[in-house]
Amino acid sequence: MSSAVSSDSSSSGEFPDAALLAHLFDSVLEDQFAVNQRSAARAETLAELLSFARTHPHVYAFTEDADAVEIAERAILRDAALRFGVSENTIRGIAATAEAATTRLPRLWRRARDGFAAFAQVEAAVSLLPVIGDGLEVLAGFDTELADAVVRLGSAGFRSFAHRVARRLSQVPPAIRHQDAAARRRVIVDPVEDGMAWLSAYLPLAEAVAAKRHLTSTAKHVAKTDRRGRTRDQIRADLLSSWLRGEGTATAVKTKVLVTIPVSALSGAARATVRDRPHRGAGGGAGPDLNDGPLLDATTPLDDSTAVTALLREGAFTRVFTDPVTGVILDMDRRSRKATRAQAEWLTLAYSTCAVDGCEHPAAEADIDHWLEFHGPQRGRTNIANLHPLCGNDHKLASRSRLVYERAADGVVRVHSPAEAVPVPTPVSMPVPVPVPVPVSMPVPVPVPSESPERMEDDREEIRRITSALARIERPIYGSEPPF
C-alpha cells in the first residue's frame, strides 16, 4: 500500500507554499488599499482644480467675457487633459464623482480615502443618486448602507446591492427618472481592430426593443430570399448599417475616396509639376504615413479589400501626391481663395487629428481654422500653409481663453497653460552653517533650544504637513494606476 504525500508539506507539519501564497495575497491587498487611497486623492485634487477655475476665472478667461466661468472651466479641463493624456470628459467625470461623493455620500467617500472602497465602486454609487433624490434622510440612509457593505462585498456584489438599495429608498417617481435618463440618449462609435467598430445607441427601452424586433422580422424575410450564407446576426447588422446610411435613398451617405500616389511612380515631366513643399501635421510632427496602407478619415486602418470595395462602389476618386519615403502629402490642387473641399480633404490627410498636440479629435470632424486670422491685421491668407484643423473646443479656447496656442514650423499646435509661468513651490532648504573654529582653551557652549519642546514639535508637524501637501501636488495623475 502506498501513501500520497503532499508536495507542500514538511516534516514539521508546516505548509511553506501556502504561507507564501498568503504573503503574496497580503501584499496585493496592501497595494490595492494604497491604489484606492491615491485614486481618491487624485479625484479630490481634480475637483479642486475645477472649483478653482470657477472661483478664479481670470486665470484662464478674460473677465469681460460674459461666459468667463464656462470658458475657464473648459480651459482648465483642456489644460489637464493635455497634461495627463486623457480626455476632458474623463477628467470632468472623475471630478464630478469626487464632488458628489464628498457632499452627498461622505461615509462612503471616507471608505475610499481610507482605501476600503475602489473609485469604481464610488462611481457606481454616485450614478444612482438621481434615483435616490435629494431627501437628506434618504441620502444618509443610502450612504450608511453602502459604507457598511463596501467592506464586505466585491465590485459586482456591491453594484447589485447598491441598485437594490437605491430602488428601495427612491423617492423619485419612475416617470421622472425615465425622463431624466432619456435626456442623456446618444450614439457612440467605438473603433476596434481589423477595420471594425461597435455602434451603440442609448435609447428608451421600448424603442430599443421595437428596433431590435423590426430588425429580426426583416432579417427572417431576407434569410429566405437573399441569405448569401449569412447568419441572422450578420443580416441584422447589415440591415442596420444599410438603413442608417440611407442606402437606396436620395440622402444616402456618400464616400469620398482619396487615392495617394507616391511621386516616384510619376514620369519625370509629371513629377516636375508637383510642388515639393512637404507639409507636416500632427502625430509626432510628421502626420500619418499615407503610403503605409488604406485609412478611414486618415486615422483608422482599413484592409485592402474594404478599401477596394469602397472605391468600386463610389466609382470616382481624387488623386493626392505623396512623398515616396515618408508618405507625407506634397501637393493638392487648390482653385479657390476660400477653404475648399479639396483643402479640407488635404488637411484631414495631413493631420488625421486636431492640430493640437495630444488632441485625438478626428480632423474629419474638426473646423478648418486660419492660423493668422483672415480678417485680422495680418490678413491671413486662405492657403494650406495658413490652415489647420482645430476641434470645436480648441477653436473656441484659442480665441476666448488665456491658453496660449503656439504653432510650430511643422504645423503642430502646442498649448501653453497660464500655470506654466508660476513655479511649483518647493520646500525651503535652510543653508548648512559653516562651523567656526573654537579655541581649545575655551569651553564649547552647549546649545540650548530657544523654543519649548511643545513649540518645536508643532513646527515639525507643520513642516510634515506642508511637505505632504507639496508631495501630493507634484505626484503625477497619470500612469498605469486607476482611475485613468
Q: What is the pLDDT along the chain (484 residues), one digit of tens a residue?
A: 444 444 444 444 555 777 778 778 878 888 888 999 999 999 999 999 999 999 999 999 998 888 999 999 999 999 999 888 888 999 999 999 999 999 999 999 999 999 999 999 999 999 999 888 888 899 999 999 999 999 888 878 899 999 999 999 988 888 888 888 889 899 988 888 777 889 999 999 889 999 999 999 999 999 988 888 899 999 999 999 899 988 888 888 776 655 565 555 556 665 555 544 444 443 344 455 555 566 665 556 666 666 666 655 655 555 555 554 444 444 443 333 456 777 787 788 778 889 998 888 888 888 888 887 766 677 777 777 788 899 989 989 988 899 999 888 778 889 998 887 655 555 444 444 444 444 444 333 334 344 455 555 555 565 555 445 544 444 333 333 333 3
Contact 376, 307 (CB under 8 A): no
Nearest-10 crossing angle of helices 205-225, 232-244: 110
pLDDT at 473: 42
pLDDT at 260: 60
Q: For residue 430, what are the CA distances in angstroms to 427, 433, 458, 464?
A: 10, 9, 18, 15
Contacts of 307 (CB under 8 A, 6+ apart): 294
Residue in this structure with the C-alpha cell 473603433, named with its chain if needed: 191
State the chain's maximal CA–CA distance in angstroms: 115
CA 390 to CA 339: how far, in whole Å? 14
Structural element, H or E, at residue 84: helix 68-84
Which of 46, 352, 76, 306 is closest to 194 using CA atoms?
306
CA 442 to CA 101: how far, in whole Å? 66
pLDDT at 200: 92
CA 426 to CA 247: how far, in whole Å? 63
Count of Cβ atoms closer than 10 Å to residue 55 Cβ: 10
Helices (H), 133-289: 136-149, 155-169, 174-182, 205-225, 232-244, 268-271
Residue 453 CA, distance from chain mean position: 50
Residue in this structure with the C-alpha cell 510628421, named with its chain if needed: 286
Q: Is the dihedral of CA 8, 12, 13, 17 positive or negative?
A: negative
Cis peptide before 483 (omega within 30 of 0): yes
CA 138 to CA 142: how far, in whole Å? 6
pTM over 0.75: no
Count of Cβ atoms closer than 10 Å to residue 479 Cβ: 11
Which of 378, 422, 371, 377 is closest to 398 using CA atoms?
371
CA 87 to CA 84: how far, in whole Å? 9
pLDDT at 426: 53
DSSP state letter for 67 = T
pLDDT at 165: 94
